[in-house]
Structure 1
Amino acid sequence: MDDADARARSDEVAVLIPAAGRGRRLGGRPKQFRALGEHPVLVQVLLSFERHPAVGHAVVAAPESRVTDVTDRLQAEGLSVLTAVVGGGADRQSSVQHALRAVPDPVNTVLVHDAARPFVAATQVQAVVQAVRTGGAASLVVPVADTLRRGDADRLGETVSRDGLYRMQTPQGFRREWLEHAHRRASAEDLAATDDVALVQHLDHDVVPVPGSRRNFKITTPDDWALAQALWPTWRDAPERFDLSSSASS
């Protein structure tokens, strides 16, 4: 293998999709398996990465009891990016761990993307990939726009400055060895986190913020589901209209 081939192999990108959650806040059928347009949400997410030239592999962590069904369904879609469907764990963190083990050896850049976040723009994916190749770790973020106050069930307290506060989005991206090390360390120390950025930061690695978009929201509640259904026809017909990373705080 010459140097050019070696560089090309080391630049391969995989995306991990933890899709084993039950979606209790939305209720009913898990959101990743609900139909959005012509396909389930999970398929729509995978199609976004299928169309992205930088992403060569996708690994889905599905509910353990549904691995065969999900594999058959995704293979029927003819997704060339699909590399494997694995059994997920009891939480998002363990599902990512399981998916990470199935990433092919040549991959050096690993993205992690929510199974219920279908409105991700191509330029946002590319920006995260480039930031990982330059700095080692990156995530889409959106600055907090609302006024924040502390409080309890009885009264509101003091205002909290929103300066320097971000809402985290996905994809989050990492050098493969950083993410693998972060998950090994988390397992050894019994450390739990709500996203992979926290695990990588635990190793004292910097994570680069990449401007996201409020349109790249995660379907979590019934209101989110209604909004996704309303927006889907516009996304399907002209996804570039959603490609507005520069308006992340709008």
Structure 2
Amino acid sequence: MKETYEVILLGAGSSLRLGTLENKIMLMLRDRPVYDYALNLFIEDERCEQVIFVVQKEDLENIKNQLLKLYNLVPKKITFVHGGTERQYSVENGLKALNNSEDGYVLVHDAARPFIDKEMINELFQTVKLEKAVIFAIPAKDTIKVVRNNEVHQTLHRPVIWQVQTPQMFRSKLLLQAHRQAAVDEFVGNEEGELVERMNHPVKVLEGKDKNFKITTSTDFMIAEAIVEQTN
């Protein structure tokens, strides 16, 4: 197996819950856009062959202009693809752009999670070589209830509930197989690990970090701003 990996960086989601007209990944956190905190790690990592950046068609030119200001060029590692109507379809579009789909590794990450770090990438990459499918998650702090029609349908046992994060990493061939099976079954999942689980393939869980949250609401963005101010 190669000692390199490829990345699908997901940036094609909507920003409805954040309440901004601009895509949240393009908002400036101090002196650079949200997506660049993760992107820069992959650009600097020699093990990363390619970053497949999944974006909305209407955002492409603005993102390229931001990259020109940041790097004086669009880094050669980046391949742009357009997003789909669902996360799963965006990842599928990214998988089509892989250089090494048979014996490679692919990492999937949300561009709206800026506080990924090199330690997490290292841990993920070392583990995926043995496990073939690895995700990050953190134990739930609150009790989780299943609610239907504004009534509690079920209370889940908190000690076994974990909240899934990205990055996630897979043998490329395995994730492609999982997506093909989901398409045949007309199944749309929440994240990539779920598709692999459906194939009865074990998915290893590594404990993530609280600060590796996804910027979804205006409160999340304010917390992100505070973290950046404290670390600079």
What TM-score, normalized to structure 1? Answer: 0.83
What are the equivalent positions in structure 2 for 1:205-224 lying under 5 Å apart?
Answer: 205-224=201-220
Q: Note the 1:86-105 alignment, pairs <5 A.
A: 86-105=81-100
- Kindly state the Cα deviation for residue 115 of structure 1 after the two structures are TM-superposed: 1.1
Q: Which residue of 1 aligns with 2:109?
A: 113
Matched, 1:127 2:91: no
Tell me the equivalent position of 1:24.
Answer: 16
SS of equivalent residue, structure 2 residue 15: coil
- Pick closer, same or farther for the CA change 1:230–1:222 going to 2, 3 Å: same
Alpha-carbon separation, structure 2, partners of 1:154 and 1:65: 37
What's the counterpart of residue 138 of structure 2?
142
Query: Any conservation in 2 of the 1:56–1:81 contact (CA below 8 Å)?
Result: no
In the other structure, the counterpart of 2:189 is 193
Deviation by residue 1:23-65 (Cα, 9 ceiling, x = unmatched): 1111112211111121111122201222334323211011123
- Say if 2:132 and 2:171, in contact at 8 Å, map to a contact too: yes
19, 27, 45: which one aligns with 2:38: 45
Cα distance between partner residues in 2 of 1:150 and 1:59 = 35
Q: Distance in 2 between matches of 1:161 and 1:80?
A: 46
How far did residue 159 of structure 1 move?
Answer: 5.1
SS of the residue aligned with 1:187? helix
2:165 to 164, 169, 178: 169
- Look up the SS of the partner of 1:24 in the other structure: coil
Contact 1:17–1:60 (CA under 8 A) maintained in structure 2: yes
Contact 1:151-1:157 within 8 A present in 2 as well = yes
Go from structure 1 to structure 2 and tell me whether the alpha carbon gap of 1:72 and 1:99 turns closer, same or farther (over 3 Å shift).
Answer: farther
Would the aligned equivalents of 1:36 and 1:232 in 2 still touch at CA under 8 Å? yes
Q: Is the 8 A contact 2:26 2:63 kept in 1?
A: no
Structure 2 unpaired stretches of 5+? none
TM-score (norm. length: structure 2): 0.88
Residue 19 and residue 158 in structure 1: after superposition, are their counterparts in 2 closer, same or farther (change >3 A)?
closer
